[in-house]
Amino acid sequence: MSHGPAVPEPAPDVLVLGPAEISRALTRISHEILERTEPGDTLVLLGVPTRGAPLAQRLHERVLAAGGAAELGTLDVTMYRDDLRSQPTRTLLRTEVPPGGVDGATVILVDDVLYSGRTIRAALDALSDIGRPARVQLAVLVDRGHRELPIRADYVGKNLPTSRHERVQVTLEEIDGEDAVTIAKPAEGSDR
């Protein structure tokens, strides 16, 4: 009796960053933000949901702890995405703009993974609908490369060269119950 070809087993996920490494990366980014911010500048950290929001919260806490000043908010980009027709229905999340708004401020968009750049393009479009910042910067926990748009991060926790077939997964305590960055490899023998 033939059972057909064997189905390849998925490779185990590879841990790239654990809780301590994520914490150190965020502390380093917060210090870099303070070094590049001029005294008197209004600084606004806007987290891109889902995982960019808690990362922005953590960066905000670190900036304040280091003696800096910053406002905190979130920026939902769902309706600005260019893949709405090809993706399953998405839940709209809240955009929370600080009381002072973003006009004339240095806005730092915060996200977990920078990949194609399309989410950040959507964030720039969403941001233009809520105000006119003096400048916009980008902070990401992981930059995995493979950009499709001319977008780069100003602050990066970890540059992580990957293949297009690998999947980078960020889990955070606030959402997933643990802090980790892992890479899921494609199954051996798969044609991906």
CA distance 6 to 2: 11
CA distance 113 to 160: 10
Task: Answer whether residue 51 is part of any domain.
Answer: yes
Which of 28-61 are b and which e, b meaning 16 or more Cβ less than 10 Å from the residue's Cβ?
ebbeebbeebeeeebbbbbbbbbbbbbbbbbbbe
Query: How sure is the predictor about 191, in pLDDT bands with cuts at 50, 70 and 90?
Result: very low
CA distance 67 to 57: 16
Task: Answer whether residue 28 is part of any domain.
Answer: yes
Task: Answer whether residue 20 is part of any domain.
Answer: yes
% pLDDT > 90, the chain: 78
CA distance 159 to 114: 10
Task: Answer whether residue 192 is part of any domain.
Answer: no
Task: Answer whether residue 1 is part of any domain.
Answer: no
pTM of the model: 0.89
Task: Answer whether residue 94 is part of any domain.
Answer: no
Q: Which amino acid is at 146?
A: H
Task: Answer whether residue 95 is part of any domain.
Answer: no
Task: Answer whether residue 58 is part of any domain.
Answer: yes
> What residue numbers bound the domain in which 158 lies?
14-34+41-81+102-184
Q: Can you give the CATH number for the domain in which 19 is found?
A: 3.40.50.2020
**Total number of domains in the chain:** 1
Note the pLDDT of residue 6.
62
Each residue's pLDDT tens digit, 11-61? 789 999 999 999 999 999 999 999 999 988 999 999 999 999 999 999 999
